[in-house]
Amino acid sequence: MNVPLVEVLPVLLLLVVLAGAVLRPRGLPEAAFAVPAAAVALAVGAVSWDAVAAEVRHLAPVVGFLAAVLVLAKGCEDEGLFTACGRWMARGASGHPRRLLGRVFLTASLVTVVLSLDATVVLLTPVVFVTASAVGARPRPHVYACTHLANTASLLLPVSNLTNLLAFAASGLSLPRFAALMALPWAVAIGVEYLVMRRFFAADLAAAAPVPDPEAPAPPVPVFALCVLGGTLLGFVVAAPLGFEPVWAAAAGAAVLAARGLARGRTTPLAVLRSASPTFLLFVLALGVVVRALVDHGLADVLGPLLPDGAALGELLVLAALAAVLANLVNNLPAVLVLLPLVAPLGPGAVLAVLLGVNIGPNLTYAGSLATLLWRRVVRAHREEVGLGEFTRLGLLTVVPALTAAVLALWAALALIGAPTA
């Protein structure tokens, strides 16, 4: 095979993978496109066996963590946590859709931080549909909030997003320092999202909704699930100093809730396995292989000259913007896989700026984030259509101001707190 074709092929394969993931013809899973693409890249020599093995080893803890969190989130659902969240949101709305939006923002932000963005998309979004219907509110503003916050609100902790785990490893920061530096950008970005959505969906939020019965019984508090979540979060904090990957803390929490669900007949072994979404995990691994082929054949060389050589405010803005653009072109996971090795030598500030770009930026397009692809499945399952034009208009109105404000907040946090390595 001639050299030019080997260099072009990884680009074509990535486009096929992303197109298949977005369009999903005949309902085929994303892995149905990613796995053959990875096999083709390997067969033609675009990526070596050694490179594939290295990429799989690199992504294995991240993919394992995703599987554990998905099982943990399903266990929380079986314990009634998301049902309790839905009733809390409905009772607090008191017939006012704007209040409901505020509670959805709060709930989605916390669920994303603690259980990762996948739980917000896969488990909370259906609850928001039911809650909006129960209070007589139009679902669009609240459902859109779920997908935007699945991306934006995932900035706070390393465990909130696959991209965060990768950036955390490259940053050299401790978990408390990471959270301290990202707290202000996280809050600022969510605030911008809320203000824009209040304006964008003004007509939907102004529609009248019935007031729920104040005498209705309050939902039971899922104490056991909350205790397991608390213990899991504590495990995240102590895992790194003890030399363990976060995946083990997530796996322990998932195992406890899965065992309880099995013992009480709330779930089955097959349901636990399905909750880990094996085909989606396979998609992530195969996507990593395709991206590795792309990097090995010149993408890093193309991006290198575009990167700044420092981490001052202007340079942080450039890094975040470049990361956001790349995320919308090739998806945020490939974007972070490509950019982190290039920006890590610039220091933690540069790594976190890239993270802002790949987490906030994907709200602009369907293909920007794996979470958005999952969200579209949930929306369509509820027979709700989201127009591409509307999605993009809202993205344009939120991404630019939210990303700019978040970078300014990061710059301020770096100046006030500093970013020494762990």
Whether 224 has a pLDDT exceeding 90, the answer reads: yes
Residue 249 has pLDDT above 60, yes or no: yes
Q: How many CB atoms lie under 10 A from the CB of residue 422? A: 13
Cα–Cα distances in angstroms (integers) from residue 63 to residues 34, 283, 349, 352, in the given order: 15, 10, 25, 21
Q: Would you place residue 376 in the very low, low, confident or very high pLDDT band (cuts 50, 70, 90)? A: confident
Among 115, 113, 145, 143, smallest CA distance to 127 is for 143
Tokens of 37: 């693409």
State the Cα–Cα distance between residues 402 and 413, nearest whole angstrom.
Answer: 16
State the burial class of residue 325 (Cβ atoms within 10 Å of its Cβ: 0-12, 13-18, 19+).
middle
The pLDDT value given to residue 53: 92
Q: Which two tokens stand for residue 253?
A: 């929490």
CA 190 vs. chain centroid, Å, equals 14
The predicted-structure confidence for 269-287, as pLDDT tens digits, reads as follows 999 999 888 998 898 899 8
Residue 62's closest CA among 189, 163, 184, 176? 163
Q: Which pLDDT band, with edges at 50, 70 and 90, does 215 fall under?
A: low
Give the chain as a 3 state SS string.
CCHHHHHHHHHHHHHHHHHHHHHCHHHCCCHHHHHHHHHHHHHCCCCCHHHHHHHHHHHHHHHHHHHHHHHHHHHHHHCCHHHHHHHHHHHHHCCCHHHHHHHHHHHHHHHHHHHCHHHHHHHHHHHHHHHHHHCCCCCHHHHHHHHHHHHHHHHCCHHHCHHHHHHHHHHCCCHHHHHHHHHHHHHHHHHHHHHHHHHHCHHHHHCCCCCCCCCCCCCCCCHHHHHHHHHHHHHHHHHCCCCCCHHHHHHHHHHHHHHHHHHCCCCCHHHHHHHCCHHHHHHHHHHHHHHHHHHHHHHHHHHHHHCCCCCCHHHHHHHHHHHHHHHHHHCHHHHHHHHHHHHHHHCHHHHHHHHHHHHHHHHHCHHHCHHHHHHHHHHHHCCCCCCHHHHHHHHHHHHHHHHHHHHHHHHHHHHHHCCCCC
Q: Which pTM was predicted?
A: 0.85
pLDDT tens digits, one per residue of 169-193: 889 888 889 999 999 999 999 999 9
pLDDT digits (tens, 9 = 90+) for 47-89: 899 999 998 888 888 788 888 988 998 899 899 888 888 888 8
Q: What average pLDDT does the structure give for the chain?
A: 87
How much is the pLDDT for 421? 45
pLDDT attached to residue 111: 92
CA-based max dimension of the chain: 75
Token pair listed for 238? 């102590």
How far is the C-alpha of 101 from the C-alpha of 114, rounded, in Å?
20
d(CA 410, CA 143): 28
Find the mean pLDDT for residues 252-270: 93
Q: Taking a C-beta distance cutoff of 8 angstroms, is the pair 267, 15 a contact? A: no
Give me the mean pLDDT over the 122-136 stretch. 86
How many Cβ atoms sit within 10 Å of the Cβ of residue 85? 25
